[in-house]
Amino acid sequence: MSNWKALQDAVKTRFGSELDHEALLFIIGLQELAQVNRSFKKQEKLEIMHIAVCVLLAPYGFYKYTGRDADGWPHFESLKSLPSLTPKQQHRL
């Protein structure tokens, strides 16, 4: 079983239903941000999802973690451009 499938199964067990990819990205981003006891503005929620994308794609050489800013937000350097993908390919990735 893939790690992604295992994560989906664990989330389904915990929350009683499957979450979509955006919800899972948000949860991963929150975990990386480690600031869960506060509310976030819409733009911050998008940035949290971007944190997750960076974390997930870093092992493939697309991003490199560069550290945290004064507010504790992680920052990443883009190392190479993401390829153009169809929606189906994006879902698979």
Residue 86 has pLDDT above 70, yes or no: yes
| Cα dihedral sign, 89-5-11-76 | negative
Q: Rounded to an integer, what distance in angstroms lies between the CA atom of residue 2 and that of residue 9?
A: 11
pLDDT digits (tens, 9 = 90+) for 44-56: 999 999 999 999 9
pLDDT digits (tens, 9 = 90+) for 19-47: 888 888 998 999 999 987 889 999 999 99
Residue 3 has pLDDT above 80, yes or no: no
Question: For residue 31, what are its two tokens?
Answer: 């975990």
pLDDT of residue 1: 55
Question: What pTM was estimated for this model as a whole?
Answer: 0.79
Every domain of the chain and the residues it spans: 3-92
